[in-house]
Amino acid sequence: MRKYKYRRNKKKIGRNQRSVSLNHYVETLVVADASMVDFHQDGDIETYILTLMNMVSMLFQDPSLGNSVSIVVVKIILIEDPQSEPVLNVSTNADVTLRSFCKWQLGLNPGKDSHPHHHDVAILVTRKDICARQEAPCGTLGVAHIGGMCKASRSCSVNEDNGIMSAHTIAHELGHNFGMIHDTEKTGCKRREGNVIHIMTPNFEADTVTVNWSNCSRKDITRFLDKGLGQCLKDKPKDLDRYKYPDLPAGVMYDANYQCKLQFGKKATLCTPPDEICLHLWCSINNTCTTLLRPAAEGTYCGKHKWCKDRECVLNAGTSFSHRRRLGRLELVERMFQILWRGVSCDGKRVQSPDARLWREILRRREKEISDMQHSSLSTWGAYI
């Protein structure tokens, strides 16, 4: 994990016009590498990307940010054949990939901000298991240049796609581009407030209910914009609807079974008990149920006329999702009984009966395992650089 020495300036910054009163438009290029295109070849990858970016956009519109920032996708590039872009070197080494991607995207970006194909920031999304400073998989989820926004060669980031929650990774790395640093005790900002995790925390945790920006992040981006470092964000894109964000929540667009595939690969299937899905998404891999202790995405079907919201299964008045879910409740219960009675091993323990107490015990063991991993400096959801 990189360590950044940073002194938060407590003095007020003189300004002619406060940045919080201005609208800022982040014209965004999103690039999906060959590993992304290959993984999503059976689905609509563009819709998936826009679903993630819609979540990112909503995070930047959260009042806790304290500034008006609109994330506008102006271009999506899908790299189907890596040989077609030999200059772009995407590997498991996150730092090498970032340098390569920043240089590559610079060559695609027209110089004038008024050009219709100009972008203010470039985002690379990959399915490769990236790692900072080495050619080996690890818990790194993303890398970016701190304060790189509006600097043509540094306004870029690399992000690992491992499911719907990758939106948090993208938002986190964009935060770095805006000059935000990690929320830690050393920098004078808490990683969380109760069940609310701050977006710029170095590590996301299993008991996250919701996320927002910390006061420190709010001050960082305000200082960045007040210094005039976001000049490229003042022009409003001429075609705001070139790429339209989906109107439906991510959990409606992608059911729980598909979310398992996004997290663990195409062979993964859902094995979450009905009353557990909004709290933790359990997935079966090689006849073994496992979880990253992440909740199902907002809007995921969890019962008749119900969907997941803030890790709870709540009534959704006036909307039916029965035609969108691929696995019905009775099917799910039947599958759970089959898995449990078959004696599938969960975390090394043999499952003997379909009892709610059993699932609570499995969950307790899994939470302890994740907690032990965190104490060993490993992250539940991965680390951000």
Task: Give residues with Cβ within 8 angstroms of 85, minimum separation 6.
Answer: 79, 104
HSE (side-chain half, CA atoms, 13 Å) at 62: 19
Of the two residues 234 and 186, the one the predictor is more confident about is 234
pLDDT bin (cut points 50, 70, 90) of residue 67 is very high
Question: Is pLDDT at 285 greater than 70 in this prediction?
Answer: yes
- Whether pLDDT at 49 is above 60: yes
Q: How confident is the prediction for the chain on average, in pLDDT?
A: 80
Sign of CA dihedral 371, 372, 375, 379: negative
Contacts 24+ apart (CB under 8 A), 36-45: 36/78, 36/125, 36/126, 36/127, 36/161, 37/78, 37/79, 37/80, 38/127, 39/127, 39/161, 39/266, 45/78
Q: 4, 7, 3: which is closest to 220 by C-alpha? A: 7
- 359 residue type, one letter: W
Question: What would the mean pLDDT of 80-99 be, rounded to a whole number?
Answer: 90
Statement: residue 350 has pLDDT above 70: no
Segment 95-141, tens digit of pLDDT: 999 999 999 999 999 988 888 889 999 999 999 999 876 666 677 89
Quick one: what percent of the chain has pLDDT higher than 70? 74
What is the full DSSP assignment across 216-269? HHHHHHHHHHHTTTTGGGSSPPS-TTSSPPPSS-HHHHS-HHHHHHHHH-TT-E
Q: How far is 257 from 246, CA to CA, in rounded Å? A: 20
Mean pLDDT calculated for residue range 252-260:
94
Q: Are strands 312-315 and 306-309 parallel, antiparallel or unpaired?
A: antiparallel
More reliable by pLDDT, 52 or 364: 52
Tracing tokens 């709290």 back to the chain, one arrives at: 279
Q: Flag whether pLDDT at 315 surpasses 50.
A: yes
For 143-159, the pLDDT digits (tens) are: 999 999 999 999 999 99
Per the annotation, binding residues for Zn(2+) are 172, 176, 182
> Does the pLDDT of residue 281 top 50, yes or no?
yes
Kindly indicate the confidence band of residue 332, based on its pLDDT and cuts at 50, 70 and 90: very low
What single string gives the DSSP state of each residue in 264-316? H-TT-EE---TTTTTT--EEEETTEEEE-SPPPPTT-EEETTEEEETTEEEE-
Residues annotated within the binding site are 172, 176, 182
- The pLDDT confidence band at residue 193, using thresholds 50, 70 and 90, is confident
Confidence of residue 256 (pLDDT cuts 50, 70, 90): very high
As annotated, the active-site residues are 173
The pLDDT score that the predictor gives to residue 271 is 92
Question: What global pTM score does this model have?
Answer: 0.78
Report the Cα 145 to chain-centroid distance in Å: 18
Q: Is the pLDDT at 299 greater than 60, yes or no?
A: yes
- Sorted by sequence, the CB contacts under 8 Å of residue 109 that are 6+ apart come out as 29, 117, 118, 119, 122, 152
